[in-house]
Amino acid sequence: MIPTATEVPLDEAGQRDALRVEIDPSQAICCYWPSPGGSSTSLPLLNLSVAGVALNADAELPATTDMLSNCRITLPSAGDIVVDLQVCQLTPLPQGDWRVGCRFVDLAPQTERLIQTWIFREQRQRLGRQP
């Protein structure tokens, strides 16, 4: 089923205050959302900022999902972070999947610093690879 989201107002400036990095599909960075019964759902990241993430989801999430709690994201060369996400926006993608825009809920300061450091490191590496 397609996830639903409560409408979360984002002002035009606040939505893009944080530096956002697109995730290269070859990095295969995923958000692992624990499901009842001990299994987990793997949702590939499309982008990341200190404000939140965009995930790529198929139609298998429960229809009432507006919070994704205790999600684990492994950032290469930085380690695991465990976060709670609020679903803010759903956008259909051409291949039939969904872009799920989420904001972090009560992000710990040390987790925010780890994300920021990872984003800056990723940007430096990408700039170094440009011709």
Domains defined for the chain, CATH in brackets: 12-129 (2.40.10.220)
Q: Model confidence over 13-32: pLDDT tens digits?
A: 444 567 889 999 889 999 99
CA distances from 31 to 14, 70, 71 (A): 24, 10, 6
Contacts of 110 (CB under 8 A, 6+ apart): none
Higher-confidence residue of 66 and 114: namely 114
Q: Model confidence over 79-123: pLDDT tens digits?
A: 999 999 999 998 888 988 999 999 999 999 999 999 999 999 999
pTM assigned to the model: 0.80
- Pull the structure tokens for residue 27: 């990095």
What pLDDT sits at residue 50? 96
What pLDDT sits at residue 37? 80
CA distances from 126 to 8, 20, 78 (A): 32, 14, 17
Short-list 76, 17, 22, CA closest to 51: 17
